[in-house]
Structure 1
Amino acid sequence: MKHVGILAHSVPGAAMCFRHYCETAMAELGDHNHPDVTMDCVAMGQSMPAWETGDYDTVRDILARSVDRLAAAGADFFLCPDNTAHLALERPGVDLALPGLHIAEVVARTAKAAGYNRVGVLGTRWTMEAGLYPRVLTEHGISAGIPDAESRALIQERTFGELTHGVFTEETRAEFVTVIRRLAAEGCDAVALVCTEFPLLVPPAESPIPTLESTTLVAEAAADVALDREPLPTWRGGPPDR
């Protein structure tokens, strides 16, 4: 079995990923049994000034420190449940110390296997306005639906004003569901919840169309690798090779 490292960025989502990974492995190995897992987190507050100014290279350097520490702890590969972090991890630079799963690739492969044609993308403003998900989905034959500017601003404010602090209200849930309904009206047959906190706010039963939860999907993909059902990944930062 392989030792997985979790590169944490936001606290609620990283905790969710850790738990789901362990529970996925225990479903196969039995109670209290799972492959080794190590989680490392540089406080997101250290990265926020760079996020706000678009300095992704500085964010990459910060995240790379976590990958270095995961490698030193004995991890064989890593995953990062934070989609926005992948905007920085895709920046050019020295290879990361470990190979990692690319979260957008995991989501896109799942969407393709499910037969979806157009997938709405709900994430931070940075993720929704970047080319990452439209690019990766298109590479898998799927188009991407992005919320309008007003909705993107609302989602950003709620994400960092509430969700990353562990605050989940019925009012905010209703606002997110309204955005998803608009995406469905525009032809989306599924919605990718590509911010680690969003599945905690909008569970599948609350969404008007099927959800693709990036946090749980990448945790399950990691379990497949750790349990030798899938090969080790090869991506070490930068745009992933396909």
Structure 2
Amino acid sequence: MSTTSERSTQVIGLIGGLSWKSSAEYYRLINEAVGKRRGGMHSARCLLWSFDFADIELLQRTDRWEQAAALMVDAAQRLQRGGADFLVIATNTMHISAPQIEAAVDLPLLHIADAAAAPIKAAGLRRVGLLGTAFTMEQDFYSGRMARQHGLDVIVPETLDRATVHRIIYQELVHGRLLETSRDAYRQVIARLVARGAEAIILGCTELMLLVGPADSAVPLYDTTALHAEAAVLRALSTLPGH
């Protein structure tokens, strides 16, 4: 672990490249938030391990999650050796590997589902809709954690809507393509979740904030990219006097 002086922030270890589009947003948001809080020329102290996303996407698509987890563990270990004080996985889907990472390194992992759940609970909301990749929407590692650890009732889109949300992420958003037709499709998916009782919508993929915003939903949107980045900054600044 890194040594920090009394006036230093902790070093954020970012596992990124999942995709690089959202990693760039993490880097921007984290540094802007540190600058806003500390003023002057301050920015974040961080290390970034950035994957070639094609390697990870192939393992996701072919259901080779253990191999993907091994790569994630390797990235975490590289960041630990580099001097990171805690870890941030800059994506929702690959939090499926969180248990393996936590078992393999001696650093805290700032879980994205916890960062998203905190303000939802603070707002007094309980039933939330979840948008993300098919893996995030359909597997238990995300919604299950929110239910068990935070008492949230998480609902996901119906089958065809899940396929639409997933397709737009992988065929468009990770390539930086922002289409109005896709924004309209997401608006309809969100509206159907609201009709089923969703009091808020979790943008549970770190690319989704590139396409949809508050104007696209009748209920509050909780952007996991922004919330996770904010939580990372608060953790990084926690060693400073007054924090």
Normalising by the residue count of structure 2, what TM-score does the alignment of the two structures yield?
A: 0.89
- Report what 2:4 is aligned to: none
- Report what 1:2 is aligned to: 10
Q: Would the aligned equivalents of 2:102 and 2:108 in 1 still touch at CA under 8 Å?
A: no
Q: 2:47 aligns with which of 14, 38, 53?
A: 38
Task: Please tell me whether residue 228 in structure 1 is matched to residue 218 in structure 2.
Answer: no
CA distance in 2, matches of 1:93, 1:113: 27
Q: Which one is further off, 189-198 or 56-65?
A: 56-65
> Aligned runs of 1:39-188 on 2, under 5 Å?
39-91=48-100, 94-96=103-105, 98-139=107-148, 140-188=150-198
Q: Which one is further off, 182-191 or 74-83?
A: 74-83
Q: Would the aligned equivalents of 2:161 and 2:189 in 1 still touch at CA under 8 Å?
A: yes
Q: Would the aligned equivalents of 1:121 and 1:133 in 2 still touch at CA under 8 Å?
A: no
How many pairs align? 230
Q: Which one is further off, 86-95 or 129-138?
A: 86-95
SS in 2 for 1:90: helix
Q: Give how far 1:42 is off.
A: 1.6
Q: Would the aligned equivalents of 1:177 and 1:208 in 2 still touch at CA under 8 Å?
A: no
Q: 2:34 aligns with which of 25, 48, 51?
A: 25
Specify the code of the residue in structure 2 equivalent to 1:159: I
Question: Can you list the C-alpha shifts for 1:85-142, whole angstroms capped at 9, x where unaligned?
Answer: 0112335884235321011111112211111121100000011001123212223222
Specify the code of the residue in structure 2 equivalent to 1:190: A
Task: Please tell me whether residue 13 in structure 1 is matched to residue 7 in structure 2.
Answer: no
Specify the code of the residue in structure 2 equivalent to 1:16: E
Q: Give how far 1:178 is off.
A: 0.6
Q: Would the aligned equivalents of 2:73 and 2:104 in 1 still touch at CA under 8 Å?
A: no
Report which of the two has the higher share of helix.
Answer: 2
Q: Percent identity?
A: 32
Specify the code of the residue in structure 1 equivalent to 2:156: I
Q: Would the aligned equivalents of 1:14 and 1:81 in 2 still touch at CA under 8 Å?
A: yes
- Report what 2:6 is aligned to: none
Specify the code of the residue in structure 2 equivalent to 1:148: E
Specify the code of the residue in structure 2 equivalent to 1:7: I
Q: 2:224 aligns with which of 214, 222, 233?
A: 214
CA distance in 2, matches of 1:203, 1:225: 26
Distance 1:92 1:34, change over 3 A: closer
Q: Would the aligned equivalents of 1:17 and 1:219 in 2 still touch at CA under 8 Å?
A: yes
Q: Which runs of 5+ in 1 are unaligned?
A: 231-242
Q: Which one is further off, 44-53 or 176-185?
A: 44-53
SS in 2 for 1:144: strand
Q: Give how far 1:153 is off.
A: 0.7
Q: Would the aligned equivalents of 2:73 and 2:100 in 1 still touch at CA under 8 Å?
A: no
CA distance in 1, matches of 2:59, 2:234: 34
Q: Would the aligned equivalents of 1:35 and 1:227 in 2 still touch at CA under 8 Å?
A: no
CA distance in 1, matches of 2:23, 2:106: 20
Q: Would the aligned equivalents of 1:26 and 1:32 in 2 still touch at CA under 8 Å?
A: yes
